[in-house]
Structure 1
Amino acid sequence: MPAYTHIHHAPPPVSETELATARWEDDGGPAIEPRSTSQAKHWLRISAALTERLPDLAGRGDVIVTCEADGTLSGAPAAFFPDLATIEIDTTVFAPHHPATLDPNRPGDEERYPAAWGALVHEAAHAAHSTWTTPPTLRGTAVDTAAQLLEESRAERAHLARRPADRRFLRATVGTLVMPDFTDQAPADAWQAACAAALILARRDAGILDADETKPVEDTVTSILGEDLLATLAAIWQAAHHTADNDGTAMLEHARAWCTALGADPDQPEATPTPDSGQVGVLAGAIGKVVGGVAAHEAVLAAAQAAIAAAASARRKAKATKGGHERQAAQIAARVFAPGARPFTPGQPHPSSRTRSPITGTRPPTPAEKAAAGQLARALRAAAYRERTETVTASAAPPGRLNMRGALARDAQKAAGATPTALPWIHTQRRPTPSPPLRVGIAVDVSGSMKAATSPIASAAWIVAKATALTDPDSRAATIAYDTSLTAITAPGRTPNQVTEFTAKGGGHSLAEATDALSAGLGLTAPGAGRLLVIASDGKYTAEQAARATDRIHALRDAGCAVLWLAFAPAPRPLPGTTLLELADPACAAAAIAKAATTAITTTR
């Protein structure tokens, strides 16, 4: 054991085909050109690509990688020839992928075939760290076999110190590299059990496999070797893990200690197991359980990583969609609130002269409206008031208020010869808390069914705009009348001196676009202000109009903006996510909006 070694210091043996070809050419025959198939061309391309990627793995650029479609010369799934600076990989480890689909030059392509890439990583670890050699006189002996066994996990451990992210690939290739060394017909004597421990348990101590994964092999090997002998072997491979890359003398000493512990002659070839030397196939079964456990754990990890990647992709898409939506909303707001703008119809590149504005004129505010604006302003200022914050600190010296208990404790500490730790002076610092501004957007349905509500809503829009201006210079309000088109009644940051009157004769409902314009114009999704959206409508929309408007309302609610739905007719149809307020008397609209605005600014965070 092992049946297949991964480091070959001698050139690969010459095959019968190569000998026959050489004899043919010596006899004067023409040089035989191998038949070129499409798969052969792909494997040449893959070999070149792997050779280009190898310097990142091995830290050296003089090693060539070849993918052998007819089996490797060494007989192993992968092998490294130090004298030839060559790594060979059996193409079967790439199964079930067709070579035409493989592109190692593309970063991340190795994620599709982790076992094959792990084989390359393993041989790259040998190329980088297995720089010592066994003397020619000892090759083929038990000490040489033991040294190669110990080198397997030592090289991988050294590789992980440079490239810890390659751990998952080395885990994926354990079955590929280890299973061929054990068969169901092989007896499990002490030497074979020790080999299994060196190939599996040593990888556990190297940080490649987990303890729970290697438990089946540990139990099987312990039953064959005993706890004391297994502990002795573990101490040997752990010492090998800390051996330098070029310290061949130390590695051979570890190998001799390995042979001595197992009662084998280090200078003779390893003993061939006989059918009666132990249980047949138990080691292969235990290693198979380890490989299955590793595969199961990697599958769970891969599923979790896929879920994380899918969530990240969804967040990126949502962010891109949100960014595009915000730009579109800003464009709508710019058109609707532009000075002298005509009604804007979403979906039309330019305003149409045929679209009639619902605005019928302006009038001076009544004394009652002025009084209502003043009352609302006082209510909003009271709601926006925040108590001063207090910070209390203790100190050993003034300024502050003297705490007699602390002073006595400090004197007692001094009298006792201890270091004074009591802090008798208490200082309270009070800072004013700025009051948040207010953002109120009002969307008025001016379709034909809302005719009775136009007068009180016009009055309420002026009262809210005037009151917010009186409350705080940073407070803003805006009103949009919507049917199929959008028309600005009051614009953000502009305090109207006159009450704008409008009529309700339109058709259709562009509430989603009206919400976008108010959100962009007032910043209804931005924290730091009391935010309120008021929708005055009966809710008689088509399913598509209702769905689009509901998405906007939920987005505002998630951002912390309150949404109030005013209904003036019986049997209203408020959209989900709104707070319904039915008003039998339209004249109460201003008071209802004032109450909702007060609540919004009180709960501002």
Structure 2
Amino acid sequence: MPAHTQAHIQPAPPAVTEAELDLARWEDDGGPAFEPPCHPHAGEWLRIAAALSERLPEIAGREDVLVTCEIGTRSGAPAAFYPTAAQLEIDAALFAPLSPPTIDPLRPGDEDRYPAAWGAFTHEAAHAAHSRWNTPPPLRGTALDAAGAVLEESRAERAHLGRRPGDRRYLRAAVTTLVLKDFTSEPLADRWQAAMAAGLLLARRDAGILDPDETVFLESTVTGILGADLLETLAAIWTASHTTGDEDGQTMLEHARAWCQALGTDPAGPEPAPDPDGEASTELAEAIGKTVSTVAANEAMQAAAQARIDAARAARKQAKAAQAARARQAAQTAEKVFGSGGRPHTPGKPGRGQRGRSPVIDTRPPTGAEKAAAGQLARALRAAAYRERTTTHAASAVPPGRLNMRQALARDAQRAAGAVPTATPWTRTVHRSGPTPPLRVGIAVDVSGSMDIAAAPIASAAWIVAKAVSLTDPDSRSATVAYDRSVTAITAPGRTPRAVTRFAAEGMGHSLAEATDALTAGVDLTQPGAGRLLVIASDGYYTTGEAARAAERLTALRAAGCAVLWLAFDPDPRPLPGATVLELTHPAQAATAIGKAATAALAAAQP
């Protein structure tokens, strides 16, 4: 039987170590001062052991078990449990290659960094919780004892999974690193060894630890050694042991006795040892090796899938945090731009002599042509916002509605037969008007020196759009800002300007990113349920930093469902990516272009 299975359950108390004897003598007769053995990170392993002791009650449901974690164990196994002493030991080597100072079992999720060590710890905790019986002393070391220990392995883990199904991945890691590797050092494939492999691995498959596809080749190999009938008999024994109670030692011993009898082994005799003169065979070792490989591959795929899920979850969380930060920043910028009383807002901390200069010149009354254009645009927007009525037909047992004679006759027949009437002879037609989506339009106009030719047409277009939007729907809003190095409000959100604001294009720099933030928060360009449009009038001659910051905002707006229209007047425009570019041969076409884009955005809006 594998060495780990033989050694990891110790009915007798652990042997007293030389260090403990030295300490006892020093405390008893005042002998030479006790000097504990010096191991690297000895203090860290004590801390880790204390943390494992603190975690054990939640896993095993016991608070009386003490955990030790040292380099090497008293039992010689990677981990062991001493029922009579209520002690659990685990070899520090299982945590390799992690550095001890980085290991913190009290930190939630830290166990995912060392699943094999945590699996061994969980396995021993399962024994602490569920292995409440022991082989009587006269029978220890016999074949009966070995068979009982093998059956107890999968029984305890199955009982543990009933309480904590989430520990399955750790128990699988323990099987792979602690149990399966033990067989590779025992190449003799006799009946007893094959039965032990089946009891440790195929029984774990039936207990829900391993997957069926991971043990197919092993089952075929064991069947070839034992025969199908004998393997079926052994499977019935371990299946019965899975339903045996934690304290029903008598029944477990009966299962172990039946196991020995099925294999033709004397239960009271020693465990059969491999014949040293027998012919070595790698068949069983190869089958177990394939099982190891399959388990490792499945775990790797599962870990990769979980890593992708965790990465996606972290990315979504980070994206939400970034989106919230952008929204706060946009709201602050909008408050500074639209709440400044028309004074320009310069992003960042302005230096001496760098205060923003307002591009606003004065205001003028709108012309008749501008008023007519606003009226035409308002009618076009209302037409685009119109939604057809929805028609619903509903069947009913009572009027009003249209009478369906077939259903009425069926209802009469049901009554005549003494049955409960279920026919619905009346049909009602209900017409409901669909909700009309509002419109949100933000206009950002470049007022750097190269845009002087577009200043007057954009000022006229901004008034036309603001007036038309106010005539379309009470909930519709528009706003216009001018930007160079500073951002200045031209028309405020929700306010219908009485006059056309004229501005000059004589500035320097381009704060399109901050202008976009102000419009995004000012007219809710990221909120669904409305036709949303951002219009940018610029030649696009920006520095690399200005373009990158502005492009980031435009990408976020498009992802939120807002249309972005770029009006270009220069013969060689350089629009930013992510915007729909419209090159106008004359700036006077701006109002018409904006109107068409706004109409399209409103028609495509999902109310």
Tell me the TM-score normalised to structure 1 length. 0.93
- Cα deviation code 1:199-247 (max 9, x no counterpart): 0000111111111111232111111001111111111101100111001
CA drift at 1:144: 1.7
CA drift at 1:186: 4.2
Q: CA separation in 1, counterparts of 2:279 and 2:228? A: 18
- Does the 8 Å CA contact 2:199/2:238 hold for their aligned counterparts? yes
Q: 1:375 maps to what in 2?
A: 376
1:241 aligns with 2:228: no
1:587 aligns with 2:588: yes
Say if 1:471 and 1:247 are closer, same or farther in 2 by CA, change over 3 A. Answer: same
Say if 1:329 and 1:88 are closer, same or farther in 2 by CA, change over 3 A. Answer: same
- Cα deviation code 1:469-527 (max 9, x no counterpart): 11111111111111111111110111111111111111221111111111110001101
Q: CA separation in 2, counterparts of 1:383 and 1:489? A: 26
1:5 aligns with 2:7: yes
Q: CA separation in 1, counterparts of 2:278 and 2:361? A: 106
Q: CA separation in 2, counterparts of 1:265 and 1:156? A: 28
SS of 2:564's equivalent in the other structure is strand
Q: CA separation in 1, counterparts of 2:492 and 2:329? A: 18
1:472 aligns with 2:473: yes
Q: 1:119 maps to what in 2?
A: 120
Q: 1:88 maps to what in 2?
A: 89
CA drift at 1:318: 2.2
Say if 1:351 and 1:525 are closer, same or farther in 2 by CA, change over 3 A. Answer: farther
Q: CA separation in 1, counterparts of 2:21 and 2:353? A: 89
SS of 2:7's equivalent in the other structure is coil
Q: CA separation in 2, counterparts of 1:338 and 1:28? A: 83
- Cα deviation code 1:278-329 (max 9, x no counterpart): 6534323322222222222222222222222222222222222222222111
- Does the 8 Å CA contact 1:102/1:109 hold for their aligned counterparts? yes
CA drift at 1:36: 3.0
Q: 1:424 maps to what in 2?
A: 425
Q: CA separation in 2, counterparts of 1:55 and 1:290? A: 33
Say if 1:30 and 1:440 are closer, same or farther in 2 by CA, change over 3 A. Answer: closer
Task: Report the more deviating stretch, 263-272 or 520-529.
Answer: 263-272
Give the letter aligned to residue 10 of structure 2.
H
SS of 1:121's equivalent in the other structure is helix
1:60 aligns with 2:62: yes
Say if 1:97 and 1:223 are closer, same or farther in 2 by CA, change over 3 A. Answer: same
Q: CA separation in 1, counterparts of 2:360 and 2:21? A: 100
Q: 1:229 maps to what in 2?
A: 230
Q: CA separation in 1, counterparts of 2:293 and 2:220? A: 16
Q: CA separation in 1, counterparts of 2:69 and 2:453? A: 83
SS of 2:260's equivalent in the other structure is helix
Q: CA separation in 1, counterparts of 2:569 and 2:24? A: 101
Give the letter aligned to residue 546 of structure 1.
A
CA drift at 1:417: 7.7
- Does the 8 Å CA contact 2:390/2:433 hold for their aligned counterparts? yes
Q: CA separation in 2, counterparts of 1:75 and 1:339? A: 78
Q: CA separation in 1, counterparts of 2:582 and 2:46? A: 75
- Does the 8 Å CA contact 1:532/1:597 hold for their aligned counterparts? yes
Give the letter aligned to residue 63 of structure 1.
V
CA drift at 1:95: 2.4
How many percent identity over aligned positions?
69
- Aligned 1:25-174 pairs, distance under 5 A: 30=32, 33-69=35-71, 71-174=72-175
- Aligned 1:272-291 pairs, distance under 5 A: 272-275=273-276, 279-291=280-292
CA drift at 1:257: 1.2
Q: CA separation in 1, counterparts of 2:31 and 2:503? A: 103
SS of 1:520's equivalent in the other structure is helix
SS of 2:599's equivalent in the other structure is helix
Say if 1:185 and 1:464 are closer, same or farther in 2 by CA, change over 3 A. Answer: closer
Task: Report the more deviating stretch, 123-132 or 10-19.
Answer: 10-19
- Does the 8 Å CA contact 1:188/1:277 hold for their aligned counterparts? no
Q: CA separation in 1, counterparts of 2:184 and 2:461? A: 87
Q: CA separation in 1, counterparts of 2:590 and 2:23? A: 100
Say if 1:52 and 1:427 are closer, same or farther in 2 by CA, change over 3 A. Answer: same
- Does the 8 Å CA contact 2:356/2:485 hold for their aligned counterparts? no
CA drift at 1:544: 2.5
Q: 1:216 maps to what in 2?
A: 217
Q: CA separation in 1, counterparts of 2:351 and 2:466? A: 29
Say if 1:525 and 1:98 are closer, same or farther in 2 by CA, change over 3 A. Answer: closer
Give the letter aligned to residue 340 of structure 1.
G
Give the letter aligned to residue 230 of structure 2.
L
Q: CA separation in 1, counterparts of 2:21 and 2:440? A: 90
- Aligned 1:384-463 pairs, distance under 5 A: 384-411=385-412, 421-463=422-464
Say if 1:326 and 1:349 are closer, same or farther in 2 by CA, change over 3 A. Answer: farther
CA drift at 1:432: 2.0
Q: CA separation in 2, counterparts of 1:118 and 1:92? A: 14
Give the letter aligned to residue 9 of structure 1.
P
CA drift at 1:124: 0.7
Tell me the TM-score normalised to structure 2 length. 0.93
Q: CA RMSD in A?
A: 2.7
Say if 1:546 and 1:152 are closer, same or farther in 2 by CA, change over 3 A. Answer: same
Say if 1:489 and 1:58 are closer, same or farther in 2 by CA, change over 3 A. Answer: same
Give the letter aligned to residue 232 of structure 2.
A
Q: CA separation in 2, counterparts of 1:31 and 1:238? A: 55
- Does the 8 Å CA contact 1:445/1:483 hold for their aligned counterparts? yes
SS of 1:187's equivalent in the other structure is coil
Q: CA separation in 2, counterparts of 1:383 and 1:97? A: 64
- Does the 8 Å CA contact 1:13/1:73 hold for their aligned counterparts? yes
SS of 1:67's equivalent in the other structure is strand
Unaligned runs of 5+ in 1: none
Task: Report the more deviating stretch, 179-188 or 237-246.
Answer: 179-188
SS of 2:111's equivalent in the other structure is helix
Give the letter aligned to residue 440 of structure 1.
V
CA drift at 1:423: 2.7
Say if 1:255 and 1:19 are closer, same or farther in 2 by CA, change over 3 A. Answer: same
Give the letter aligned to residue 197 of structure 1.
A
Say if 1:581 and 1:97 are closer, same or farther in 2 by CA, change over 3 A. Answer: closer
SS of 1:283's equivalent in the other structure is helix
Q: CA separation in 2, counterparts of 1:513 and 1:19? A: 75
SS of 2:214's equivalent in the other structure is coil
SS of 2:8's equivalent in the other structure is coil
Give the letter aligned to residue 316 of structure 1.
K
- Does the 8 Å CA contact 1:184/1:280 hold for their aligned counterparts? no
CA drift at 1:601: 0.8
CA drift at 1:83: 0.8
Q: CA separation in 2, counterparts of 1:219 and 1:251? A: 27
CA drift at 1:396: 2.7
